[in-house]
Amino acid sequence: MIDKVRTYIEREIGLEDESLVLVALSGGADSTALLLMMKELGYKIEALHCNFHLRDEESNRDQTFVEELCKKQDVPLSVRHFNTEEVAKERGISIEMAARDLRYDWFREEMKAKKATCIAVAHHRDDQAETLLLNLLRGTGLRGLAGMSPKHDGIIRPFLCLSREEILRYLESRGQSFVTDSTNLERIVQRNRIRLDLIPLLQSINPSAVEHLCLAQDNVRESIPYYIKGVEAAFDELGITATSFPLSVLTSRTLLHEWLSGKGFNQAQEEELMRATESNVGKMWHSKSHTILLDREALILAPLSNELKVPQIKQEIVSSIEEKGPNVAYFDADLMTAPIEVRLVREGDSFVPFGMKGRKLVSDFLTDRKINRLEKAESFVATCGEDIIWLIGHRSDNRYRVTEGTKRILKLSV
């Protein structure tokens, strides 16, 4: 069994012997076996344990077991406590989803802080089969059919080559105990019902059901690179880009699913998005990493950013107008009666666009230029006192333009 896992790591993960591996350790059979086996294989390891405080004394029992196990095995251990129910309520998500987000966010923090190569989790072959069935019941694309990857985004799964039965045999051969999470026996959770009811039913039909489900996942996973090339070709043909999905091609639900894949949008959001496109109602959806806007004739995708970059404006007096472009504007310097400042566009802002005589709302001007709501929200203006003199990147104000009578020319550039 040790050789089986070693070979799997070499073939599917490519982990170097001197790597620091953080092991996610709950105290259950799978993670306990993972800790022991990674140490037995000679990797430098440290353990991470999450106490979600969801099972009263059982949660504290698990922590005590993990602490004693790591002390016995001489493995460094870090423990993190979470108020999971409160976080779930604040974010409006399920407790299971909140626990997952908290767990993996902390794991990545620890991986960066400890300069670890990766985080090992104990998902095994039976988990893989359960994931396939769960994804099928929810409705999924090709990536969902492929199941969990042996290595992805800093997470490794060395046990995907082992069955639960093999893991239990390994622990028995080492005389190692473990703890049992009582919630794993509750049929309220859909995954538990698949594990406790559906998998045994399938095995009664075919004893090799789990093995064959995992084989199907392997086949799908190996096909994905070729599938992606086909999807990318279709994207190019239909005008779909990394940031825009034309509503005219929404008849292809598969392409939309692939476009959203990897951006953190869940199935419920995808369904809501599809319904909203039928009425063309402007709306936004947010994942942890991206925002999608339904805007007129397209879905617009933009990465979330914690910081909005304010344009830095350079001011200089020049003798003539030479350089031109959206990031440069020229003005009559003697008309500037107040310091020039930069700020975000506000609701109700108006100016007199260059070449026009009357005022126009900034929002209307941007709409006419087919600027979507996401870009509008991040548009900046340069002001002189109360007046907008430049809608940066778009148009300067006609009242401050350079004329034949201008004596000094002010050049503003981003």
Q: What is the CATH number of domain 314-413?
A: 3.50.40.10
pLDDT digits (tens, 9 = 90+) for 303-321: 776 566 788 989 999 988 8
Which of the 8 DSSP states describes residue 11? I
In 3D space, the residue among 217, 221, 14 whose CA is nearest the CA of residue 128 turns out to be: 217
Exposure string for 91-126, b = 16+ CB within 10 A, e = fewer: eeeeeeebbebbbbebbbebbeeeebbbbbbbbbbb
Three-state secondary-structure class, residue 1: coil
Number of alpha carbons in the 13 Å side-chain half-sphere of residue 344: 9
User: Does CATH number 3.40.50.850 belong to domain 2-215?
Assistant: no
Contacts of 215 (CB under 8 A, 6+ apart): none
pLDDT digits (tens, 9 = 90+) for 177-234: 999 887 777 777 788 899 999 999 999 999 999 999 999 999 998 898 888 888 888 8
244 DSSP β-pair partners: 300
pLDDT digits (tens, 9 = 90+) for 337-390: 899 999 988 888 999 999 888 899 998 898 888 777 777 777 899 999 999 999
**Residue 372 · residue 295 · CB < 8 Å:** yes
The amino acid at residue 82 is F
pLDDT at 110 over 90: yes
pLDDT at 255 over 60: yes
In 3D space, the residue among 294, 286, 244 whose CA is nearest the CA of residue 264 turns out to be: 286
Domain boundaries, the chain: 2-215, 239-303, 314-413
Res 224: pLDDT: 86
pLDDT digits (tens, 9 = 90+) for 93-105: 888 888 888 999 9
Quickly state the pLDDT bin for 239 (edges 50, 70, 90).
confident
In 3D space, the residue among 258, 223, 259 whose CA is nearest the CA of residue 241 turns out to be: 259
Rounded to 5 degrees, φ, ψ at 78 are -120, 135
Contacts of 362 (CB under 8 A, 6+ apart): 345, 349, 350, 351, 379, 381, 388, 391
pLDDT at 322 over 90: no
380 DSSP β-pair partners: 344
Res 282: pLDDT: 62
